[in-house]
């Protein structure tokens, strides 16, 4: 793999910036002296976090409160940045939605929420920000995908499918953009100690821990993600156990992976 060109100082756009892996990534990029654009739904929390980051790291941080589930959100975000004359050198697609349960027992709007953020909004953001990067001849994209991209995930079917889509898209774009100065990286952590994890209760949590046995620290995941992104690595799976899961998902027959995960799910429900 050719070593990517060194990025000039510039702006890092992080979606889902105020919690979990997102906030850890914000801190990691800020610690490297890079200025930031923080995007999240909660305007008050976003502003408070931005002030904290600026004070702690001495960098510049712009905030844009935005619900990526709304149609046209990526276009709106790009327009606001253009008005402020802010160019994005590193795009971090961290925002994501998950719901758990049998597909037929979930409400249609829950499926649409997952698809709306994980698939539609992420794709729209890539379409808005990659072309200017290519035109300038430099840029980085970090897509927070997850280990669920490698295996069928019964009882989280739409979520797993959305992550498989994002992994495939990342790999395809990475190959398309070879030689452009723009790299695209998929971060594929397993279970991480985030508010999303804390909201998983009872049998659902037992199931998730069976298919992702270790719980990673967000700061450690962010450190690994930063290094992989800056190296131009296409796929990064932090943690030995998660790497084994990814390897198994890629090497065992699909029917075996499907039946195995389904069996584990039924054991805990």
163 is a catalytic site residue: yes
- Residue 41 contacts residue 67 (beta carbons within 8 Å): yes
Active-site option among 51, 57, 159, 207 = 159
Beta-ladder partners of 62: 37
159 is a catalytic site residue: yes
Active-site option among 57, 163, 207, 226 = 163
Q: Which residues are catalytic?
A: 159, 163
């Amino acid at each position: 793999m050719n070593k990517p060109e060194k990025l000039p100082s510039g702006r890092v756009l992080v979606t889902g910036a105020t919690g979990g892996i997102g906030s850890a990534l914000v801190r990691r990029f800020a610690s490297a002296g890079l200025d930031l654009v923080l995007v999240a739904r909660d305007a008050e929390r976003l502003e408070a976090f931005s002030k904290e980051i600026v004070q702690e790291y001495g960098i510049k941080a712009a905030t844009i409160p935005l619900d990526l589930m709304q149609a046209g959100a990526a276009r709106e975000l790009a327009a606001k940045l253009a008005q402020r004359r802010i160019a994005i050198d590193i795009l971090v697609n961290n925002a994501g939605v998950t719901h758990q349960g049998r597909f037929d027992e979930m409400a249609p709007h829950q499926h649409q929420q997952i698809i709306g953020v994980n698939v539609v909004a992420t794709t729209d953001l890539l379409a808005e920000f990659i072309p200017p990067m290519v035109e300038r001849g430099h840029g980085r994209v970090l897509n927070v995908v997850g280990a669920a991209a490698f295996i069928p995930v019964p009882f989280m079917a739409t979520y797993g499918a959305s992550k498989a889509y994002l992994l495939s898209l990342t790999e395809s774009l990475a190959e398309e953009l070879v030689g452009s100065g723009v790299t695209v990286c998929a971060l594929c952590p397993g279970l991480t100690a985030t508010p999303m994890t804390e909201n998983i209760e009872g049998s659902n949590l037992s199931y998730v821990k069976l298919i992702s046995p270790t719980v990673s620290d967000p700061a450690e995941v962010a450190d690994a993600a930063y290094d992989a992104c800056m190296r131009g690595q296409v796929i990064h799976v932090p943690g030995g156990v998660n790497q084994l899961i990814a390897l198994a998902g890629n090497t065992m027959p699909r029917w075996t992976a499907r039946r195995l995960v389904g069996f584990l799910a039924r054991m805990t429900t």
